[in-house]
Structure 1
Amino acid sequence: MYTNMHQQNNCQSLTNRSYGFKELAVLYFPNIAPASASIRLKQWIKDDTELLEALQETNYQLSNRILTPKQKELITISFGSPF
């Protein structure tokens, strides 16, 4: 059974707004440098071909710095909430 390590932070949630790519990456990888977090999240996305295809349907490119609410939603559905 999968359990999210961050379930203790139930009071925090992602709001429905645009996120900077680095901003979202830091939420997933809070214990590493922001640039490294971005690289790691980008690699996760590249490794998940189904997610990458879904993101590309929303005009996502790997060089995007801003994620639309829909793109953020696709990422959090695929990887789970960072909280």
Structure 2
Amino acid sequence: MVINSKIFQSLDLLLADIENAVSAGQKIDQLIHTLKGCLGQIGQTELVCYVIDIENRVKMGKIIALEELTDLRQKIRMIFKNYTIT
């Protein structure tokens, strides 16, 4: 599979923005929603479901641990190992 490097970089930057927002105690609902959409657009259904779970907990006011976001970043990187980045 082939993916544009800009998409990969955008996802990486978006994850960094989410991690920074969590660290600063800022709202992440819009960022999580954007991440969900990006992953959906490239057909990553499993990751979309994972992000939906995070999004639902954020909507309920639950705190998302930074470790959980690190885990998400690793899941995304593992999937992209199967892609050719152009």
Structure number having the greater helix percentage? 2
- Normalising by structure 2, report the TM-score: 0.36
Using the size of structure 1 for normalisation, the TM-score is 0.37
